[in-house]
Structure 1
């Protein structure tokens, strides 16, 4: 098998790439990176010194491809399938790239700030930073509520890379900082994402690891398979 994806099943950015792979039924091998295991961690640092996941290795070209958006673009260029996650129209492509970055930077990043703060050592918490992260999510949710008016997906009627990015960010952010009750467009969009087969598969695969999520007590039972 040519493609190997180095990941962890609980990592939200890994979910983004997995959705893209499952959308196009692209064959690949998944290998878990365990940063608690010195051998696994050092091997991954050797692979990509920044130490982030996911990272794709293409054995056919012996190429390491890091960063989620670059991985999805690489897959479309070299292993294209029936679902074009990046459109060919230049203006539409810019919109997809914009909202892809929006979900990564303004939903996933503040969400991770809130999550990581819960597992910091005693006395090392950052309440001011967490408050800023929550304010950032409020702004992002309000912008998305407007963006999604009349849209089935993030940038129109076609499922794209922006939607791959949306699901993991909104999934975990909605747990640690729920949507407002009047954000009906955002809530409906999130439910449409959950019904997507690629998304459902990713969440089912992640379910055994949800017990390690620092806010697991706030996770809706439907995601834990308890209803």
Structure 2
């Protein structure tokens, strides 16, 4: 039995949820409220870093943190999810690279932007917004070329690399629009049409007012 601990607004939770939805893998969702001290204590007892998502694989007695590792675990233990990590070594390498590109160069900058917006005006570094936009522009330049001629991030098949791309691009697009990058924009439209991402995004809608940008 899989139990996924997270919150629908979290882009990294959405990434893991997309993997489950896309492969039709059943799981129990344990929604987190880390503002509740008792709940935070229970969660950090399970995963001391206190970051979501976290997967409990109760059948195997394992706890797996970090969204990429969660999906790797799912692919390794569930036949229907094995396709998320391609069997071909070169395609698997490309899949993991694109996963890192979205996490480190699209997700990380917009999270920094969100942290900046939550800080008290007058006490925050006002250089951060332009720095983040520059980082996203670099990522967009890379992705525009990498996605040329591909249906999905690593090739013709939906993989690990695509699971986090929808949430990453949704939030990043609110900071630096992707409209001037036709390959990225078309890819994002395909992601939005994918039932797995559409479901994860729909679950986030009640909480979008919490996003500070």
Asked if Structure 1 and Structure 2 have the same fold, meaning a TM-score greater than 0.5 normalized by the shorter chain, the answer is yes
Map Cα deviations across residues 107-164 of structure 1 (whole Å, 9 max, x no partner): 0000111112111123331222332221110000111111111111111111111011
- How far residue 196 of structure 1 moved from its aligned partner, in angstroms, is 0.1
Pairwise CA RMSD: 1.2
Structure with larger RCO (C-alpha < 8 A, sep 6+): 2
Match of 1:203 among 193, 197, 201: 201
Equivalents in 2 of 1:145, 1:183: separation in Å? 6
Aligned length: 213
- How far residue 68 of structure 1 moved from its aligned partner, in angstroms, is 0.8
- Is 2:44 the partner of 1:49? no
SS in 1 for 2:207: helix
Equivalents in 2 of 1:191, 1:127: separation in Å? 32
- Is 2:191 the partner of 1:185? no
Equivalents in 2 of 1:41, 1:82: separation in Å? 30
- How far residue 80 of structure 1 moved from its aligned partner, in angstroms, is 2.5
Contact 2:76 2:82 in 1 (8 A): no
Equivalents in 2 of 1:173, 1:82: separation in Å? 27
SS in 2 for 1:81: helix
- Is 2:166 the partner of 1:171? no
Equivalents in 2 of 1:27, 1:12: separation in Å? 20
Equivalents in 1 of 2:126, 2:79: separation in Å? 45
- Is 2:11 the partner of 1:22? no
- How far residue 83 of structure 1 moved from its aligned partner, in angstroms, is 6.5
- How far residue 3 of structure 1 moved from its aligned partner, in angstroms, is 0.8
Runs of at least 5 residues in structure 2 that lack an aligned partner in the other structure: none
Runs of at least 5 residues in structure 1 that lack an aligned partner in the other structure: 216-227
Equivalents in 1 of 2:6, 2:172: separation in Å? 20
- Is 2:135 the partner of 1:125? no
